Chains A and B, each alone.
Chain A
Amino acid sequence: MSVLVDIDTAVIVQGMGKTGRFHTDKAIAYGTKTVGAVHPSRAGQTERFTGATDHTGVQGRPDSYDVEVPIFGSVAEAVAGTGAVASVVYVPPPFAADAIMEAADAGVPLVIAITEGIPVADMVVAKRYLQDRNTRLVGPNCPGVITPQQCKIGIMPGYIHTPGKVGVVSRSGTLTYEAVHQLTRNGLGQTTAIGIGGDPVNGTNFVDCLELFNDDPDTEGVIMIGEIGGTAEEEAAEWIAANMTKPVAGFIAGMSAPPGKRMGHAGAIISGGMGTAAAKIDALEAAGVVMAPTPTDMGAAMMEALGA
């Protein structure tokens, strides 16, 4: 079991430029069921991917792949033509929010937006648009979602992951890789790793992911990696205290970050002093989360939380 994505998840790609193509190739090599792509001016064409497969020994996978991915003119056509249930967005920042809304309009249940640098105002509109629609957005500005050896949607290095029992959720890309790497090394492995992204306005949040992992029978514990700014970690702490039945480990980046450097002067005020790393760590510890003092200790903190 896993959350959000598995071996049957049929994915379409929005934004088949240089970056999109590069990562689509890696995803197909990893085994992701990539069924189509969207490009208004290339409808009817195909994009070919060939190469050597990752983790070939698993589930009788062949050692190479050679696939033609059909290109559609719109998300709606791609969904109609392929039955895709997920979309990954590599569209450049000025057009990415529109791509997300198009996917929602087409009824895609899961949209994973990798794009970094989308204007906040565009995301405010996109989030408003998603409010009344049955689409879950992950990201933007995130590495994506991976269920080891089943489905990799995004830009994370596949080989560091291994199937296992820990759910990973994080606002930071490279810190996710650190955590995953340690969980692979200490033998715990991952059920699914979700990057929720580093933008101030994003789709899926910590609480959503904790809920998913709490309900997933194969997930035995969760590690959540947060950072300064906003109150998502505090909200997660509240939810954990009230609802979480599984052990949680955590790490918060930004203990030494100078105040006011990235956020506007009044930006910190809404949360009433709740944007600092110290406040987040306190809230999570009070909720029973085992906090790693440094990123190097994330794997060990998860071990401790699991009593392993």
Chain B
Amino acid sequence: MKIHEYQAKALMAERGIAVPEGRVATTVDDAVAAVRPLIESTGNPVVVVKSQIHAGGRGKGRFVEHPDVGGVSVVLDGIDGGIEAVEARVRQLAEQMLGSTLVTIQTGEAGKTVNRLYIEQGIDIESELYLSVLLDRATSRNIVMASTEGGTEIEVVAADTPDKILKEEIDPAFGLLDFQAARIATGLGLEGDAHRNGVRFLKALAQAAVDLDTDLVEINPLVVTTEGDVMALDGKMSFEANALYRHPAVAGLRDESEEDPAEAKAKEFGLSFIKLDGTIGCMVNGAGLAMSTMDIIKHVGGEPANFLDVGGGADKDQIAAAFKIITADPNVRGIFVNIFGGIMRCDTIAEGVVEAVEEVGLEVPLVVRLEGTNVELGKQIIDESGLNVVSASDMKDGAAKIVELAK
């Protein structure tokens, strides 16, 4: 589960991790009202207006409605003009940004609507660094990863200059040890106060990652200020869904407006669904089979409209819900149901499909491939339903048939 930058920074601040001071605003007036207390509190006349969306690349992103406005805007008017000048500029920016569509490298062409702004104090930056805490699957441990190349995407650093990436493994029995934090701080070139602050920052961040069950914390950039403070200038946190039950406060930070409505709907029914851009809707049991059903559709020349795993123990209602989610996508020109019944019985799937079709109707071709437990019974239910369903003998046959029918 992703959260917004301002939420991540609040969680960090609670844990003693240094972040700039800021205020969140959902209206123009709130954005303007945030300016005076912020400047009075920090003494810095520079403020930054930051769009809050669940996607990176905001700084270089542009608004569809206002192509000259970036997703993150630094307001310098206060240096000469005082607080009133900052308020005027923030008002103008907030009017342009709130409710507008921000397109960044990560949002896709459609972009995302900005519903929240974060008004943050300006920082006098000495240097920009990179820092993250994430799972290293090869060792089954969390690692701290750092680089002097702040502001650059870590994938780029990894590809171009892999020797600039520092890593420390966190032993779950001990946490990040002092010397490990110090080794990273030194590797990042921190000295004096900055080194001391860096170690404190690293230890607190590693502990926060463990305490909050994050699956990724990424600080890019981590900045060293001219005064030797070490701060999270940006902050991204995402959380492991399986552990959210023990973090109700974090779970409450979920912003449903950032999620694909179909994906959110699927989640309600306990289905795993990912929307894609193709035309062949897929309903499958098991993640591996669902993934390879997408693959096989591509293999025979089609494009999958979605990934959908109904799981190992779906009931009739879930099958019906899955079917409705697929048919609600206007791009879908054909549906492929691919089931290997193990625990899940083919007759249950068949009943669910028939029920859903009877309820929502069927305007596109449907190919069903059933195999496994109670397969004959399942086929019989489909055959006797009188629905216009094409049976497939195996997965490849089914994929070929639906791609042909959907042309």
Give chain A's interface residues, CB within 8 Å of chain B: 93-94, 117-125, 127-128, 143, 155-157, 160, 170-175, 177-178, 181, 198, 200-201, 225, 227-232, 235, 251, 253-258, 261, 264-273, 277, 293-297
Asked if residues B135 and A256 are in contact (CB atoms below 8 Å), the reply is no
The answer to whether residues A256 and B242 also contact, given A125-B172, A172-B288, A266-B145 and a CB cut-off of 8 A, is no
Q: Nearest Cβ in chain A — how far from B400, in angstroms?
A: 10
15 examples of A-B residue contacts, CB within 8 angstroms: A93-B242, A118-B242, A119-B246, A121-B243, A124-B140, A128-B171, A143-B342, A178-B395, A200-B137, A235-B138, A255-B295, A258-B276, A266-B134, A266-B145, A270-B136
Nearest neighbor of B342 in chain A, beta-carbon distance: A157
Q: Nearest Cβ in chain B — how far from A127, in angstroms?
A: 5
Known contacts A269-B145, A295-B296; 14 additional CB pairs below 8 A are A120-B213, A121-B213, A124-B141, A157-B341, A173-B342, A174-B286, A181-B340, A257-B291, A265-B236, A273-B158, A273-B159, A294-B296, A294-B399, A296-B394
Asked if residues A294 and B138 are in contact (CB atoms below 8 Å), the reply is no
Q: Does B24 contact A (CB under 8 A)?
A: no
Identify A231's interface contact among B137, B158, B242, B307, CB under 8 A: B137
Asked if residues A296 and B296 are in contact (CB atoms below 8 Å), the reply is yes
Q: Does B173 contact A (CB under 8 A)?
A: yes
Asked if residues A201 and B135 are in contact (CB atoms below 8 Å), the reply is yes
Asked if residues B396 and A294 are in contact (CB atoms below 8 Å), the reply is yes
Complex Cα spacing A172 to B286, Å? 7
- B residues 325-354 near A (Cβ < 8 Å) are 340-343
Asked if residues A268 and B155 are in contact (CB atoms below 8 Å), the reply is yes
A171: chain B residues at CB < 8 Å are 288
Asked if residues A173 and B295 are in contact (CB atoms below 8 Å), the reply is no
B216: chain A residues at CB < 8 Å are 264-267
Complex Cα spacing A266 to B154, Å? 7
Against A, the Cβ 8 Å flags (1 = close, 0 = not) of B309-334 are: 00010000000000000000000000
The answer to whether residues A94 and B245 also contact, given A121-B240, A123-B140, A227-B291 and a CB cut-off of 8 A, is yes
Q: Does B279 contact A (CB under 8 A)?
A: no
- B residues 380-407 near A (Cβ < 8 Å) are 394-397, 399
Asked if residues B295 and A254 are in contact (CB atoms below 8 Å), the reply is yes
Asked if residues B172 and A227 are in contact (CB atoms below 8 Å), the reply is no
B299: chain A residues at CB < 8 Å are 255, 293-294
Against A, the Cβ 8 Å flags (1 = close, 0 = not) of B142-162 are: 110100000000110011001
Asked if residues B286 and A128 are in contact (CB atoms below 8 Å), the reply is no
B141: chain A residues at CB < 8 Å are 124, 128
**Which of B142, B173, B295 has the most A CB atoms < 10 Å from its CB?**
B295
The answer to whether residues A295 and B372 also contact, given A128-B171, A258-B276, A265-B216 and a CB cut-off of 8 A, is no
Asked if residues B134 and A178 are in contact (CB atoms below 8 Å), the reply is no
- B residues 216-256 near A (Cβ < 8 Å) are 216, 218, 236, 238, 240, 242-243, 245-246
Q: Does B77 contact A (CB under 8 A)?
A: no
Q: Does B294 contact A (CB under 8 A)?
A: yes
Nearest neighbor of A257 in chain B, beta-carbon distance: B291
Asked if residues B243 and A264 are in contact (CB atoms below 8 Å), the reply is no
Identify B135's interface contact among A128, A267, A294, CB under 8 A: A267
Identify A265's interface contact among B172, B218, B373, CB under 8 A: B218
Complex Cα spacing A170 to B213, Å? 27
The answer to whether residues A270 and B240 also contact, given A253-B295, A294-B292, A295-B296 and a CB cut-off of 8 A, is no
Q: Does B52 contact A (CB under 8 A)?
A: no
Complex Cα spacing A66 to B373, Å? 24
B298: chain A residues at CB < 8 Å are 255-256
A268: chain B residues at CB < 8 Å are 155
Q: Does B5 contact A (CB under 8 A)?
A: no
A123: chain B residues at CB < 8 Å are 140
A277: chain B residues at CB < 8 Å are 295
Smallest CB-CB A-B distances: 3 pairs? A172-B288, A174-B286, A264-B216
Asked if residues A127 and B288 are in contact (CB atoms below 8 Å), the reply is no
Asked if residues A173 and B286 are in contact (CB atoms below 8 Å), the reply is yes
A200: chain B residues at CB < 8 Å are 135, 137
Identify A269's interface contact among B154, B172, B245, B276, CB under 8 A: B154
Asked if residues B295 and A160 are in contact (CB atoms below 8 Å), the reply is no
Asked if residues B291 and A178 are in contact (CB atoms below 8 Å), the reply is no
Q: Does B274 contact A (CB under 8 A)?
A: yes
Nearest neighbor of B2 in chain A, beta-carbon distance: A264
Nearest neighbor of B156 in chain A, beta-carbon distance: A269
Q: Nearest Cβ in chain B — how far from A285, in angstroms?
A: 16
Asked if residues B134 and A264 are in contact (CB atoms below 8 Å), the reply is yes
Asked if residues A272 and B158 are in contact (CB atoms below 8 Å), the reply is yes
Q: Nearest Cβ in chain B — how far from A180, in angstroms?
A: 10
Identify A177's interface contact among B210, B307, B340, CB under 8 A: B340
A256: chain B residues at CB < 8 Å are 291, 294-295, 297-298, 304
A272: chain B residues at CB < 8 Å are 158-159, 162
Asked if residues B137 and A178 are in contact (CB atoms below 8 Å), the reply is no
**Which of B173, B289, B399 has the most A CB atoms < 10 Å from its CB?**
B289
Complex Cα spacing A132 to B276, Å? 44
Nearest neighbor of A176 in chain B, beta-carbon distance: B288
Complex Cα spacing A272 to B154, Å? 10
The answer to whether residues A128 and B288 also contact, given A177-B372, A264-B134, A296-B396 and a CB cut-off of 8 A, is no
Asked if residues B138 and A254 are in contact (CB atoms below 8 Å), the reply is no
The answer to whether residues A270 and B213 also contact, given A120-B240, A228-B291 and a CB cut-off of 8 A, is no
Nearest neighbor of B55 in chain A, beta-carbon distance: A265
Complex Cα spacing A235 to B138, Å? 9
Q: Does B132 contact A (CB under 8 A)?
A: yes
Q: Nearest Cβ in chain A — how far from B41, in angstroms?
A: 32
Asked if residues B218 and A201 are in contact (CB atoms below 8 Å), the reply is no
Asked if residues A270 and B140 are in contact (CB atoms below 8 Å), the reply is no
Complex Cα spacing A254 to B276, Å? 13
Q: Does B30 contact A (CB under 8 A)?
A: no
B291: chain A residues at CB < 8 Å are 227-228, 253-254, 256-257
Q: Does B121 contact A (CB under 8 A)?
A: no
- B residues 249-308 near A (Cβ < 8 Å) are 274, 276, 284-289, 291-292, 294-299, 304, 307
Asked if residues B140 and A156 are in contact (CB atoms below 8 Å), the reply is no
Q: Does B371 contact A (CB under 8 A)?
A: yes
Q: Nearest Cβ in chain A — how far from B347, in angstroms?
A: 14
The answer to whether residues A178 and B340 also contact, given A227-B288, A265-B218 and a CB cut-off of 8 A, is yes
Q: Does B56 contact A (CB under 8 A)?
A: yes
Complex Cα spacing A94 to B245, Å? 9
Q: Nearest Cβ in chain A — how far from B141, in angstroms?
A: 6
Q: Does B21 contact A (CB under 8 A)?
A: no
Q: Does B215 contact A (CB under 8 A)?
A: yes
